[in-house]
Structure 1
Amino acid sequence: MTAPSVHEGAATRPLLGFAGMWNLSFGFFGIQVAFALQGANVSRIFQTLGATIEELPFLWIAAPVTGLIVQPLVGHFSDRTWLGRLGRRRPYFLAGAILAALALVAMPHAQALWVAAALLWILDASINVSMEPFRAFVGDMLDPRQRSRGYAFQTIFIGAGAVLAACAPAILTDGFGIANTAPLGETPPSVRWAFYGGAAVLVATIAWTVVTTREFPPDTLRAFGDATGHAAPPAEAAPGWRQAAGWIAIGAAIAASVATLGLDQPLYILGFGMAAFGLAQMINRLRLSAGRDRLLNHILSDLNTMPATMRRLAIVHFLSWFGLFVLWIYATPVVTRHHFGASDVASAAYNDGANWVGVLFGAYNAVAAVYAFAIPALARRIGMRRLHAINLIAGALGLVSFALTRDADLLLVSMIGVGMAWASILTIPYTILSNCLPPNKLGVYMGLFNIFIVLPQLVVSTVMGALGSALYPDDPVFGFVIAAAFMLAAAAAVRLLAEDGTA
């Protein structure tokens, strides 16, 4: 069991060996199995239940909305939780894993599109409850000298879990003879059994981390010099009236444009979301004027006063994740249509293409898992900023190559670049963040950083459907060219950071 002990007044955390690192992050293996099963198969389930390609981004709206709400809340509360032997982060790991496992078991049995969409909301929210505290968990438990290695360990487990999940339907079909096709409106048995297995792996690996680790209690954190108090933020830290009015005006303008110009209706979600954010800021100002200080003020104030390094990393992260979400949402329709020549979701060619998407997802995650071993040493040698830019450029080349070939086998080469970018995105930004954030707000700031993962998904979900219908209705692969452009922009934005990755 990883049970670190320190004497009173110790200046640094004890260094962990291989077993300690393994126990600390093994639960992320199960989380990523669940996340990868969702990413590789939910579009397939939606299309099986009758969804069109244009409807897919809107149906995926569950993921960004739940992440936007859940992760900052979980981060805020986990910073303030202490449940004795269970600690402050591990209760969230366990609760989220149980709920996500139940959703995984239920989703392949959905008989209606709205049921599948509702289960995606539950699944994504539950995964977020487990996943968000894991980022802060590394910062809590590891000395700054080991954090790069700690996040690299998480990336290794993310890659390994995703490989297993992405390839599971193909393995079940080719290795065990489980059927890969089903009547229209039903999920193939190979996908159903993959989801059952994913649920079991998720609960087992989270339980391993919960049982084999022990968190530092508040008194020990104080001995390390970590503040454990949570004083109310000053009123001037909260967003002001002018800022709130600006968000409401932008949101109202987007909604009015949709109504008057006949734009794609999912854009209403983007407009109403911006307006709601501005309204929340106004409500917070009113509550502050009345002398009330609640959860909303803490989160909005923390968002408004982010450290400079976090603000600049947020730009890089937003642009990077835009490209990733295009890949995850459109990989199945792109590969099945552009590379396998199939659009009938009940056909063998379509399901062969969908299984190949799983193999491709497994390939880039395998690259990420292997490459993550090298990232800490490479970062020390050439600098985090330069390494991250190189990796993002490799990801852009991998994405654009989808449009340059119709040979499905060559896409395995494309996945090398995507895997390099994925490993970097999961490791370098979090290493930088954990070393620049106040320890007593590590959870909430990690949750707020997730906003800049969620926002690009929200944009993709609300904009890409209309953009695709207008610009490339016959071949959605050109959406990958747009995704590559955003990844290149992210590489350029890395220049906003100093050589050591700080602001």
Structure 2
Amino acid sequence: MEKRKLNFWQIWNMSFGFLGIQFGFALQGGFMSRIFQTLGAEVDDIPGLWIAAPLTGLLVQPIIGYLSDNTWSPKFGRRKPYFLIGAILASITLFIMPHSPALWIAAGLLWVLDSSINISMEPFRALVADKLPESQRSNGFVVQTLIIGIGTWIASNLPWLVNKMGISNEASAGVVPPSVVVAFSIGAFVFITSIIYTLVTTKEDPPENLEEFLSEKKESRFISDLFASLKDMPSTMKKLGLIQFFSWFAFFTMWSLSMPALTEHVFNAPKPDVKEYAQLNAEGEVLKDDKKETIFLSLEKEEVYKAKDKVYNDAADLVGSSTGVYGLSSMAFALLLSFYTMKNKINRKLIHMASLILGGLGFIYMFFATPSTLMYSFILIGFSWGSILSMPYAMLSSSVNPKKMGMMMGLFNMFIVIPQIIAALGGINFLYKLIGSEHINAMLLAGISLIIAGLCNLFITDKNAISG
């Protein structure tokens, strides 16, 4: 039975929860490395600290996709229970995260945060395929991207904005600045309220044949269904997986290393190493007094450290704001596509290829950027981000069994998290140092990876996937 078409605002309402999800992702992606550096992490150790994020996605998303495929309640729906559970856990973690007293606690909370966001996010992808007919799938994923762009821009600017409102971006050594703490608290509030908005305004449709659904549910087993889905993975999904591999390697590189790379290279304001200014014990650890405050070598050393740290925090706020520009340009990209796809078909393959190549050029331009021109890099990156969040899913949803949409979306996530795991386990550090030892070379690596991803679109040949 053909699903009925929805109007723009119905699609908007069912996708609005992505605003909160993206607040969580943008704060995580834009400022976790800043928190790690504040708590004493070395730059080359940061990608390894990020490994929690892709590992949780690898484990959580196929399970949540499977569970949501096999859930139906006349009262609570199919995907909505997972939206709410993930939102509650993520909001609590966002509130606690910037209060982390130690590096290992922040890394552990990142694990919880990413798991919680994944619990909410994956069912949202499946909901588009559940509720929209094939002719509206591109439009549905593009509206999600529009909302994600809004969330990225606002959340990335939050620390800068609250600082401008009078909340300090300075703190003692090893303490996260108040402006970042307040930004994460706002993110927690937005996450839960936007999810609740979607829960209230969107009604899920029951399975087309409820008796058949309940019968299949009784017979389903996760492990056997998992291996069957892997075996039946369509070739288009595998080809999209290759594109996703290089795309997400690039963006993981940006999230983990853009803050130290850009504060150093573009703003000439690296994070000062407190060990150069403080008293150390025999193991080389910073000494602290009874109030847990750093004991400096002298008052002069303390003043020099604080001055340099102030310059770094100002630069970090500006990097965060510049990063938010990719949310704005992805929003503009999505808005244009949204209006166009309401009445017209598009060539998803060519749009995705061009967008990824433009994003790759944006990363490469970072090497030449100044504080006033850095935004142009992120404008180009925004085109690729907008496409990454819509075109692969639109192509995928035209290629898989709709009864297993949640499971297949979860398995598709493997092509997102595996490159991130490889990057976190040393892939970034090894490859960017082949270009040069400066951290900005990690951004050149991201650009090369994204251009390769764009060219891999040439392997896509399925007409149903390409046109939509």
Aligned with 2:241 (options 314, 317, 325):
314
Check conservation: 1:322, 1:457, Cα contact below 8 A.
yes
Q: Cα–Cα, structure 1 residues 469 and 161, in superposed 2: closer, same or farther, change >3 Å?
A: closer
Q: Please, which runs of 5 or more residues in structure 1 have no aligned partner?
A: 1-10, 234-292
**TM norm structure 2:** 0.87
Matched, 1:494 2:421: no
Check conservation: 2:236, 2:462, Cα contact below 8 A.
no
Q: What is the one-letter code of the residue matched to 2:359?
A: G
Q: Cα–Cα, structure 1 residues 180 and 501, in superposed 2: closer, same or farther, change >3 Å?
A: farther
Once the 2 structures are TM-superposed, how far is the Cα of residue 489 of structure 1 from its aligned partner? 1.0
Q: What is the one-letter code of the residue matched to 1:395?
A: G
Q: Distance in 2 between matches of 1:304 and 1:81?
A: 23
Residue aligning to 2:167:
178
Q: Cα–Cα, structure 1 residues 88 and 189, in superposed 2: closer, same or farther, change >3 Å?
A: same
Aligned with 1:400 (options 364, 367, 371):
364
Aligned with 1:205 (options 194, 214, 217):
194
Q: What is the one-letter code of the residue matched to 1:410?
A: T
Once the 2 structures are TM-superposed, how far is the Cα of residue 468 of structure 1 from its aligned partner? 6.3
| Correspondence list, 1:118-137, <5 A | 118-137=108-127
Q: Deviations over 1:188-213 (max 9, x none)?
A: 00000001111011100100101111
Check conservation: 2:330, 2:385, Cα contact below 8 A.
yes
Q: Distance in 2 between matches of 1:469 and 1:209?
A: 42
| Correspondence list, 1:345-364, <5 A | 345=272, 347-364=309-326
Q: Cα–Cα, structure 1 residues 231 and 207, in superposed 2: closer, same or farther, change >3 Å?
A: closer
Q: Cα–Cα, structure 1 residues 489 and 230, in superposed 2: closer, same or farther, change >3 Å?
A: farther
Where 1:15 maps in the other structure, the secondary structure is coil
Q: Distance in 1 between matches of 2:345 and 2:198?
A: 32
Q: Distance in 2 between matches of 1:317 and 1:145?
A: 24
Where 2:72 maps in the other structure, the secondary structure is coil
Q: Cα–Cα, structure 1 residues 417 and 232, in superposed 2: closer, same or farther, change >3 Å?
A: farther
Aligned with 1:336 (options 250, 263, 266):
263
Once the 2 structures are TM-superposed, how far is the Cα of residue 95 of structure 1 from its aligned partner? 0.3
Q: Distance in 2 between matches of 1:222 and 1:192?
A: 49
Aligned with 1:371 (options 312, 330, 333):
333
Q: Please, which runs of 5 or more residues in structure 2 have no aligned partner?
A: 273-305
Q: Distance in 1 between matches of 2:78 and 2:151?
A: 25
Once the 2 structures are TM-superposed, how far is the Cα of residue 230 of structure 1 from its aligned partner? 3.6
Q: Distance in 1 between matches of 2:423 and 2:429?
A: 10
User: How much is the aligned-residue C-alpha RMSD, in angstroms?
Assistant: 2.1
Aligned with 1:168 (options 158, 161, 167):
158
Q: Cα–Cα, structure 1 residues 443 and 469, in superposed 2: closer, same or farther, change >3 Å?
A: closer
Q: Cα–Cα, structure 1 residues 231 and 33, in superposed 2: closer, same or farther, change >3 Å?
A: closer
Residue aligning to 1:282:
none
Residue aligning to 1:467:
430
Residue aligning to 2:88:
98
When the two structures are aligned, how many residues end up with a matched partner?
Answer: 429
Residue aligning to 1:222:
209
Q: Distance in 2 between matches of 1:33 and 1:226?
A: 39
Check conservation: 1:340, 1:349, Cα contact below 8 A.
no
Report percent identity of matched pairs: 41
Matched, 1:304 2:231: yes
Once the 2 structures are TM-superposed, how far is the Cα of residue 73 of structure 1 from its aligned partner? 0.3
Q: Distance in 2 between matches of 1:170 and 1:198?
A: 14
Matched, 1:84 2:81: no
Of the structure 1 ranges 160-169 and 356-365, higher mean CA displacement relative to structure 2 is found in 356-365
Q: Deviations over 1:283-313 (max 9, x none)?
A: xxxxxxxxxx842232133123211111111
Q: What is the one-letter code of the residue matched to 1:372?
A: A
Where 1:344 maps in the other structure, the secondary structure is coil
Once the 2 structures are TM-superposed, how far is the Cα of residue 19 of structure 1 from its aligned partner? 2.0
Of the structure 1 ranges 193-202 and 468-477, higher mean CA displacement relative to structure 2 is found in 468-477
Q: What is the one-letter code of the residue matched to 2:177?
A: P
Aligned with 1:147 (options 126, 137, 147):
137
Check conservation: 2:57, 2:118, Cα contact below 8 A.
yes
